[in-house]
Amino acid sequence: MINAEPQVCFNDSSGQQPPATLLLDQYKAYLSDLGNIGTRYTTAQTFYWTIISALIGLVALKDIKTNAEYFKPAIVVVVGLIAIICCVWQFTSGHYRKLFGAKIAILKQLEEKGLYTLYKTEGDILRKGSEKVPSLLAIERVVPLILIFVAVAFVLYSFYYNNSPAR
């Protein structure tokens, strides 16, 4: 069994299936934990949006009279900081995506052990038909990537602009 997916198992030497009430209690506890992780994910997203918005606001409120003033070192440092924070945001989003995937996979395994197959059925419904529903977590991971691209392009252009002999 090389590369086999880990399976949920009942730690009982008898080899019997656990009682349905025990499975249901475990399922409810895991579902509650999934909700708590969702709350932490939302808090993390809000944190990153707040920090990035504040830094963009800081750049926007700067009294700039010419385009050349956008490329002053202080502005470049703030935009570079935005890029760094977006990298951390990207890694955080990736972590939560993996965590949600693992939690849902375990819930599906618990369902296969004798509970209603709610998550499997929901996934099947979302995947079928011509109007496939994209993963919101995958879409949300694109936002920091776009901001990273814009911030890095700005920083690189500012180095070019500030070292240009035509200035």
Domain boundaries, the chain: 20-127+134-162
Q: Sign of torsion, CA 56 49 47 140?
A: negative
Of 15, 90, 64, 59, residue with least CA distance to 154: 59
At 1 the pLDDT is 45
Which two structure tokens, joined as six digits, stand for 10? Answer: 């009942």
Q: Please check the confidence at residue 36 and state whether its pLDDT lies above 50.
A: yes
What pLDDT score does 61 carry? 82
pTM assigned to the model: 0.76
Residue predicted with more confidence, 117 or 37:
37
93 confidence band (pLDDT: 50, 70, 90): very high
Which two structure tokens, joined as six digits, stand for 109? Answer: 């395994």
Residue 140 has pLDDT above 60, yes or no: yes
The pLDDT value given to residue 42: 94
What's the chain's average pLDDT?
Answer: 82
For residue 149 the two structure tokens come to 């691209």
**Is residue 146 within 8 Å of 56, Cβ to Cβ?**
no
